[in-house]
């Protein structure tokens, strides 16, 4: 499993403790109507960004989802920024919170509601790049 993925998100029924030196992690989810099957030049250009450029920014963790159900408005593209904190969990019995069981495990706890960014106006690859670099302040990795 990668260092972080949605699979690591959990709820701890028990004692939660912070992990020394762990900084909060930003996780981006970009939901679009479709990624790969494009016929016209504009959607091909967007596809290039979604497939190649999205993951080319420094320290970016995230996923591009082609999922219309994830979006409030089927015509829009939705970019969400989640913030998670890695913590340690020691589970307890629901009716006996003083009784520990199992081995402690690390998990990521959501810190707040996601920030939502309207990116429905972005079409061309250079527009996406400009938005990520100038508006969001993300830096591309050095080649």
What pLDDT digit, counting tens, does each position of 14-23 carry? Answer: 888 999 999 9
In degrees, rounded to 5, the angle at the alpha carbon of residue 109 between the alpha carbons of residues 104 and 111 is 150
* Mean pLDDT of the chain, nearest integer: 81
Percent of the chain clearing pLDDT 70 (strictly above): 78
Query: CA torsion, points 122, 74, 113, 118, in degrees to nearest 10?
Result: 20
For the chain, the domains span 6-135
- Whether residue 93 is predicted with pLDDT greater than 80 in this model: the reply is yes
Report yes or no: 62 and 29 within 8 Å, Cβ to Cβ. Answer: yes
| Structure confidence at residue 2 (pLDDT) | 47
- For the purposes of burial, counting CB atoms within 10 Å of the CB of 79, is it exposed (0-12), middle (13-18) or buried (19 or more)? buried
pLDDT in tens, 33-70: 765 555 666 677 888 888 889 999 987 888 888 755 55
């Amino acid at each position: 499993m990668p260092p972080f993925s949605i699979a690591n998100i959990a709820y701890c029924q028990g004692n939660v403790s912070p992990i020394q030196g762990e900084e909060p992690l930003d996780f981006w989810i970009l939901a679009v109507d479709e990624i790969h099957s494009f016929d016209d030049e504009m959607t091909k250009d967007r596809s290039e960004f979604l497939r190649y450029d999205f993951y080319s920014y420094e320290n970016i963790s995230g996923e591009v989802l082609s999922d219309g159900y994830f979006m409030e408005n089927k015509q829009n593209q939705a970019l969400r920024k989640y913030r998670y904190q890695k913590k340690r969990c020691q589970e307890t019995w629901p009716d006996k919170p003083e009784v520990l069981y199992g081995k402690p495990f690390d998990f990521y706890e959501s810190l707040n509601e996601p920030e939502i960014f309207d990116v429905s106006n972005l079409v061309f690859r250079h527009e996406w790049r400009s938005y990520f670099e100038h508006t969001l302040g993300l830096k591309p990795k050095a080649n």
